Amino acid sequence: SWRRKYVREDYDNLLQMEMNEFDQPCPEVFQLPVFNDRFCHDIIGVSERSQLWGPGGYAPSVEVNRSGHVYTETHPTVDIQFEQMGMFENWMQAVHSYHPNEQAFLGLHHDASTYSLNMALNRRGVDFEGGGTHFKRQNCSVLTAGPGDVLVHPGQLTHLHSGLNTTRGTRYILVSFMQP
């Protein structure tokens, strides 16, 4: 099944935990081990084979045409939306890539979500150097997330954050915005 193929074996233990038992690398930022290396490898592979990456860049905003829908991205990223790959069309999800010669970082921003999920897809120190997520008001950076680890944090108001500079290799993350 999909779950046996992609979800970590100890996932059910997460469902039994109390909120105060979750790893919290920054205030109100929770790090949960959810997906396995195979999931991360497969998502990167699908993304790279599709070659439908958004333009990214460091401009304050950019007009983007995705699947016939034109809109303005206020924080442009080199990314590919799941719906572009024919996957999970009812979720706002994307794979983002950070590379020193393309888009090495993402400036301070709030997400357009109530909660944001940010999942590492590859290994810091192996596949890339630098990178990570910095939360300004909390004065805290998360550098420890490994493949399949999901960071959960408020998307708006309290958790202004940035993607830290990737100095070597390509850093891949999966981002999902939740609006309960």
Q: Which residues are catalytic?
A: 171
> Scanning the structure block, which residue is given the tokens 């999902």?
176
Q: Report how far residue 30's alpha carbon sits from residue 25's, in angstroms, rounded to the nearest whole number.
A: 7
Task: With beta carbons less than 8 A apart as the criterion, state whether 154 and 110 touch.
Answer: no
> Scanning the structure block, which residue is given the tokens 């983002």?
96
Single-letter residue type at 28 = E
> Scanning the structure block, which residue is given the tokens 């590379």?
99
* Strand ranges, E, within the chain: 23-26, 29-33, 62-66, 69-73, 79-81, 92-98, 106-109, 115-120, 128-130, 133-135, 140-142, 149-154, 161-163, 166-169, 171-178
